[in-house]
Amino acid sequence: MDRREMLVAAAGVAGAALLTSGSARADDRDKKKIRFQDSDFVDSNGKFKEDKAKDAIIALMKYHGYPIFDGIKEKLWVSDYGKGQFTKFGLAAIMHKNNEQDRYMLMDLFLLPHQMLPEHWHVKTEKNPAKLEGWLVRWGESHIVGIGDDNLSKDVVIPACHNGGKTETRHEVLAKPGMFVPLAQVESKHWQWGGPEGAILSEVANVHDDSGVRHTDKEGNDFFLKGGK
């Protein structure tokens, strides 16, 4: 290789490095769009700022390319379960259909990066059977946790506000886009934890009934059953 060829090759390597570096910086900037602080979602009196939480979830949608349809913000359900730590502990969802007569349901779930959907289970009610469900990851990653041997990743951080950082179930499936994970057993406890870019999942089930939901975290359970947000 002569001197000219060496210079051209060096320039190519440098250019590639710049492109890679620039791409990494762009990725970092993009990720900042879905990074929030708990203080973003509570007012001076500690009240949950539902509107701000919905804005954050819409930012997550835009980051992943989820379709933003008319009226989406009004359809969003968000909750911090009364903990005031929405980035660590909470949930957002859109119920597309819950047919109690014919027993079918479709809902989308949204988790911010490293946000925990609290550990819970479903029991039968006067109106409905116990919920039997499964989850299809559309974007991001979710650690879907339920009954079974303890294989919980060390990356998963259970927030202290959830039973002092403890759960009863610790068997996880790291679910990525295109993976469908069914509930292991009817009435079994389960929970989820969002990956580094959060997660957007579609949940299918026989039926959903809020009165049949139970959480292992007592404060969160009492808050939910009282219809809190």
Nearest-angstrom CA–CA distance, 62 and 116: 21
Chain centre to alpha carbon of residue 217: 18
Could you tell me if 40 and 28 lie in one domain?
no
Report whether 137 contacts 113 (CB < 8 A).
no
Q: Which of 148, 124, 146, 126 is nearest to 214 (CA)?
A: 124
Total domains in the chain come to 2
Domain of residue 16 covers 1-32
Structure tokens at 21: 């570096």
Please tell me whether residues 62 and 132 are part of one structural domain: yes
Domain CATH code at residue 193: 2.60.120.10
CA distance 79 to 165: 19
27 with 45, same domain?
A: no
Residues 9 and 41 in one domain: no
Please give the chain's pLDDT, 229 residues, in tens.
Answer: 555 554 444 445 444 444 444 444 446 657 889 999 999 999 999 999 999 999 999 999 999 999 999 999 999 999 999 999 999 999 999 999 999 999 999 999 999 999 999 999 999 999 999 999 999 999 999 999 999 999 999 999 999 999 999 999 999 999 999 999 999 999 999 999 999 999 999 999 999 999 999 999 999 989 888 876 4
